[in-house]
Structure 1
Amino acid sequence: MSGSNILFHIDGRVATITLDRAARHNALTMAMLADVDFALGQIEIARDVRVVVFRSTGSRFFCSGADIGEWGDIDPEEMGSRFIRAGNRVFRRIVELDVPTISVLSGSALGGGLELALSCDFRYASTDAMLGFPEASVGAIPGWMGCQRLSALVGTSRSRELVLLGEPITAARAAEWGVVNQVLPQEQLDERVTEICALLQRQSRASLSVGKRLLRMVESGQPELAHEFAASVCKATPDAAEGVNAFREKRHAEFR
């Protein structure tokens, strides 16, 4: 990478993107967003990848949000056209990846850090992590589609509580609300994520890809058309034939 505090590697079928700026609570800079964008491009052309994991160094913060220090030299027009647009482009690319994505919240996720986590398919948090949108306290708003993605998960009432009050919630409450999938002690977090990665790697790549697109189509309000399309696409793949044959022969499918 370009030295902007992003680590990226692919190990077998698992790609890992790590925020490596613990001294600044892993706050996101424009350079970091650019390097995440580059990593996503590599993942898109890596046919063997089955799951993408977002991690961070340090245990206090997964990500404290956007680096406010970069805002000082940006005029109002550039704030929207450059800084916000760049983040939205990267996070949308995460959402649209054909493979599942996991964010490992080993520390607190605030502001843009929570928006990054919300862009992923799964979120696993440590018991001491806090999640929230504190932007109102600095005269800002969640600019990277956080309001929309949060509302889709928890509804408007709870979204208002996080966005307008600006007070973070505990990981336990986030799990109650459906913001995170599971909360575990720090020492058990990596083990659980490894289990989820192993499970996802055994699935059909075609089914994962089409399933993600299907979910996006359902969310857009066309569920019947989406299911018809998805079923047809899956049936046309070699994976579907192998799945049926394995079921008939009472053996585990070997998806290729």
Structure 2
Amino acid sequence: MAYENIRSDFSNGITTITINRPSKLNALNKATIEELHHALDDANQSKETKVIIVTGSGEKAFVAGADISEFADFNVEEGGRLAAKGQELLFDFVENLSTPVIAAVNGFALGGGLELAMACHFRLASSNAKMGLPEVSLGVIPGYGGTQRLPQLVGKGRAMEMVMTAGMIDANQALNYGLVNHVVETDELLPLAEKIASKIMRNSSVAIAEAISAVNANYKDGVDGYQTEIEAFGNCFGTEDFKEGTTAFLEKRKADFPGR
């Protein structure tokens, strides 16, 4: 599929998806959300892709927010549909992918940009990154999962302050809050993401998919995360990866996981 607003590049087991609207600071519009959905879906279904990295083009912005011009005149019903469709196509979709997704946050990650980063399985940031949810300054609230995922990551009090002040935090504060896992200089960001990806790829992709499902279950209403873990743990025993992993351990050699 040819993309207008993103790039998707594959190399050595990693698909790197780059939001590429530099003139708009990589802001998310409807077309970009749809393209991201397709690129992520393709990567997730690819047997060759073991890890996905999501980043923004240039050094100024990961994603500087949503494209406000697309919804400035929406009514109540249209606003609700916008949030529901966006969560279905992209934000909830990313969170529940079976392939690990790393957000490499370069520069501004505001509004929908921070919501996209938070939907990824974990986040790395460049030292010049700035993050925030400025929606209340526009008379609206975060609608792509921001009010739910931010408290899960940084705690209720800090999330409330960030949302209500509409302010930005820098990369080091995001690291202190636990919003990102690592902060490095801009030119080290993608190499670090790739280094972590290479560590992930040494392990069983089947087991990792089960682990993602189990961890996510803890944050879903009406779902018993412990029971999900028990079932996921049991599922692993029926895989070729389990047989290879345990055999390799007992034979004191490196496992060569078939991914089945």
TM-score relative to the length of structure 1 = 0.95
Distance (whole Å) between structure 2 residues aligned to residue 37 and residue 127 of structure 1: 28
For the residue of structure 1 that corresponds to 2:152, the secondary structure is helix
For the residue of structure 2 that corresponds to 1:203, the secondary structure is coil
For residue 222 of structure 1, report the CA deviation from its aligned partner: 2.1
Between the two proteins, the alignment pairs up a number of residues equal to: 255
Q: Which amino acid aligns with 2:116?
A: L
For residue 48 of structure 1, report the CA deviation from its aligned partner: 2.2
Q: Which amino acid aligns with 1:241?
A: K
For residue 218 of structure 1, report the CA deviation from its aligned partner: 2.9
Q: Which residue of 1 aligns with 2:145?
A: 145
Distance (whole Å) between structure 2 residues aligned to residue 193 and residue 2 of structure 1: 25
Is contact 1:118-1:149 (8 Å) kept? yes
Q: Could you say what the CA RMSD is over the residues aligned between the two structures, in angstroms?
A: 1.4
Match of 1:229 among 231, 235, 240: 231
**Bigger shift: residues 163-172 or 33-42:** 33-42
| Residue 164 (structure 2) pairs with residue 164 (structure 1) | yes
Match of 2:241 among 239, 247, 251: 239
Distance (whole Å) between structure 2 residues aligned to residue 4 and residue 239 of structure 1: 38
1:34-66 Cα offsets, whole Å, 9 max, x none, are 111111221232122111110111111111110
% identical equivalent positions: 35
Q: Counterparts in 2 of 1:43-192, with a 5 A limit?
A: 43-81=43-81, 83-89=82-88, 90-192=90-192
For the residue of structure 1 that corresponds to 2:104, the secondary structure is strand
Unaligned runs of 5+ in 2: none
C-alpha spacing 1:212/1:3, structure 2 compared with 1 (3 Å): closer
Distance (whole Å) between structure 2 residues aligned to residue 2 and residue 85 of structure 1: 26
For residue 76 of structure 1, report the CA deviation from its aligned partner: 3.0
For residue 126 of structure 1, report the CA deviation from its aligned partner: 0.8
C-alpha spacing 1:250/1:114, structure 2 compared with 1 (3 Å): same
TM-score relative to the length of structure 2 = 0.93
Distance (whole Å) between structure 1 residues aligned to residue 219 and residue 72 of structure 2: 37
For residue 73 of structure 1, report the CA deviation from its aligned partner: 4.4
Q: Which amino acid aligns with 1:34?
A: E
For the residue of structure 1 that corresponds to 2:72, the secondary structure is helix
Q: Which residue of 2 aligns with 1:250?
A: 252
Distance (whole Å) between structure 1 residues aligned to residue 218 and residue 149 of structure 2: 15
Unaligned runs of 5+ in 1: none
Q: Which residue of 1 aligns with 2:195?
A: 195
Is contact 1:2-1:35 (8 Å) kept? no
1:161-180 Cα offsets, whole Å, 9 max, x none, are 11001110111011111000
C-alpha spacing 1:138/1:28, structure 2 compared with 1 (3 Å): same
For residue 108 of structure 1, report the CA deviation from its aligned partner: 1.3
Q: Which amino acid aligns with 1:99?
A: T
